[in-house]
């Protein structure tokens, strides 16, 4: 019985992790405009790639935090720390960091 409960708890936790991705802010044109203040060549495709990388690379070990939880400096520190633990490539790191920092400045925090 205990094994069944542990299995059920694991399935429930995995379901919660997977559900986090769809609830993350999806980049829009306004986010690109705001992000171009720091990175002139930023595209919507790059922000969407960063979102996809964040979901794929980070949700396997912990729940995904909303970008509004930290500011750009906080995300830079967090992603840098996690890069080594999670074996992120430089490309993944940049994509994730760009998504998180741009979206962290979205008005209303969503």
pLDDT at 63: 92
Number of domains into which the chain is organized: 1
pLDDT of residue 85: 87
pLDDT of residue 109: 65
State residue 13's pLDDT score.
43
**Residues with pLDDT less than 70, the chain:** 1-22, 109-110
Q: What would the two tokens of residue 92 be?
A: 């993944």
Q: Are 27 and 47 in contact (CB under 8 A)?
A: yes
Q: 3-class SS at 12?
A: helix
Q: What's the pTM value of the predicted model, to 2 decimals?
A: 0.77
For 98, the domain range is 2-109
What is the reported pLDDT for 23? 82
Looking at residue 38, its pLDDT comes to 92
């Amino acid at each position: 019985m205990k094994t069944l409960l542990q299995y059920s708890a694991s399935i429930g936790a995995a379901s919660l992790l997977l559900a986090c991705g769809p609830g993350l802010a999806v980049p829009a044109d306004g986010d690109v405009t705001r992000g171009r203040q720091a990175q002139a060549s930023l595209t919507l495709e790059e922000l969407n790639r960063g979102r996809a990388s964040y979901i794929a690379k980070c949700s396997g070990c912990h729940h995904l935090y909303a970008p509004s939880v930290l500011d750009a400096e906080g995300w830079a520190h967090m992603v840098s720390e996690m890069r080594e633990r999670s074996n992120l490539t430089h490309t993944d790191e940049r994509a994730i960091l760009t998504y998180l920092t741009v979206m962290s400045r979205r008005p209303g925090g969503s």
